[in-house]
Amino acid sequence: MPNLHEKSAAELAGLLRDKKISAVEITKSALERINTLEPTLHSFVNVYPDLAVTMAEQADRMIQDGSARPLTGIPIAIKDNMCLKSRKTTCGSKILANFTPPYDATVVNLIKNEGMVILGSANMDEFAMGSSTETSCWGPTKNPWDTERIPGGSSGGSAAAVASCQATVALGSDTGGSIRLPASFCGVTGMKPTYGAVSRFGLVAYASSLDQIGPFARDIKDIALMLNLLCKHDPMDSTSVPVQRSDFSTFLDKKPSGMTLGVPVEFFNKLSNQDVERSLTEARKVFEKLGVKFVELSLPSLDYGIAAYYVIAPCEASSNLARYDGVKYGHRAENFDGMIDMYCRTRAEGFGPEVKRRIMLGTYALSWCYYDAYYLKAAKIRTLITQDFKKAFEGCDGIFCPVAPAPAFKIGEKIDDPIQMYLTDVFTIPVNMAGLPGISCPAGFSSDGLPIGMQIIASHFQESKLVQLVSAFQRETDHHLKHPAI
């Protein structure tokens, strides 16, 4: 069957159930696609054809014996910061270039138990620190829509793999927009669930109070299937929340008539890109046609979100990355004079410039004479942001806003200007600060053919509302059905 790689997970699952194709056929089609595109895009750090075919054969056996699950046989890419037993997990960093985990992350266990097929580990910004997937020690990933442009970060490899049909679905992690930004820039759908909804056990930590694993797919039906798989309580993760979860697929056909979306003035006042404004205006008209009401609201503390985030996240990174010292695992400097010199040389050689910058920022902000002035104040702002959102959700079902200030920029354009790079996250960071679920959905294209996403934010553990709204939107539009000509 031709063009298997272009079909959605839901479509492939139906073909597998009807025994019209096999998981091995699907997997070989994906691997052929990767072989063709990988030299151009560099979506993956490692591809595992042997593992993928073995898992596909196991999936076919599950289908034959009647033990198949909804996503059995579906190919998936895993971001390179999730532990995959006996396979390298590098986090895009030289310091972990040869690290092989002795165990699987919980989400990887769920994928294996489901009978999904792991194609490989997707490229990412080093330790998830970046908005462009340019800081990876393995080199940048390129945007399938324009290979001179970035795919977004830090989960750029995952988004590019799905957008280019190398993988049917993928996993990413989102600390300040690292799922939603790449989804927007690559023209796919990406969900950042509520903090605590998906287990982080086995996710290599960047900022532990902000990190969250979530799925990429080309449409919302596949996102719903992935959420059903991922959103489970895990006793191995102390931040995993034991809440009653619905079948997200049941919300796909629910009409959004009567729902209300809030429009934050603080976000739209910052918009200056005409293509983004036009796409969001047209998306709003679609929702209004569907019976969704819009109300203007104010979230005054969002103006301080970027500043507070770039105190809190580097502080947590400084603490989390202290473990990489060259003693037990990871890179170790070859030439050194004593233990302290070994630590210093190992970390100097192993970390890239952006990771070093954030470690230094965090260490400075946590020092005894500056803790109150920086970290404590940022934590208070975080509380105010959370309170602003809580108040806003008293009058609306979700918040409608941009994902990024502009479409994807060119590779190298902002890499030497940290402030401009950080401002790319201005619309995504507050969601992580408040621990809320947010989704990026294709909403249009720029005048030069680049994808533009819209963001919808919901209250805690209300991912079902996001599924309902985006599903209705995608029934009325075809942005998510378009593929890059690569």
The catalytic residue positions are 79, 154, 178
Tokens standing for residue 417: 């200007």
Tokens standing for residue 251: 């919300």
Q: Are 308 and 382 in contact (CB under 8 A)?
A: yes
3-class state of residue 436 by DSSP: coil
Residue 294: what are its φ and ψ, rounded to 5°? -120, 135
- E strands, 90-230, in order: 117-122, 169-173, 189-192, 213-217
Cα 430 from Cα 444, distance rounded (Å): 24
DSSP H helices, 374-462, are 377-392, 418-423, 429-434
Q: Are 486 and 149 in contact (CB under 8 A)?
A: no
Cα 2 from Cα 22, distance rounded (Å): 13
Rg (CA), the chain: 21
The gap between the terminal CA atoms of the chain, to the nearest Å, is: 20
* Residue for token pair 């990355």: 321
Cα 151 from Cα 164, distance rounded (Å): 11
Comparing C-alpha atoms, which of 5, 40, 210, 196 is closest to residue 117? Answer: 5
Cα 4 from Cα 333, distance rounded (Å): 46
Q: Are 262 and 400 in contact (CB under 8 A)?
A: yes
Cα 133 from Cα 320, distance rounded (Å): 21
Cα 232 from Cα 240, distance rounded (Å): 8
Task: Please confirm whether the linkage preceding 121 is cis (ω < 30° from 0).
Answer: no
Strands 213-217 and 189-192: antiparallel
Residue 350: what are its φ and ψ, rounded to 5°? -80, -30
Tokens standing for residue 246: 């619905």
Neighbouring C-alpha atoms within 13 Å toward the C-beta of 339: 1
* DSSP conformational letter for 372: I
* Identity of the residue numbered 67: S
Helix axes 220-230, 9-17, angle to 10 degrees: 80
Distance of CA 268 to the CA centre of its chain: 23
Residue 216: what are its φ and ψ, rounded to 5°? -115, 145
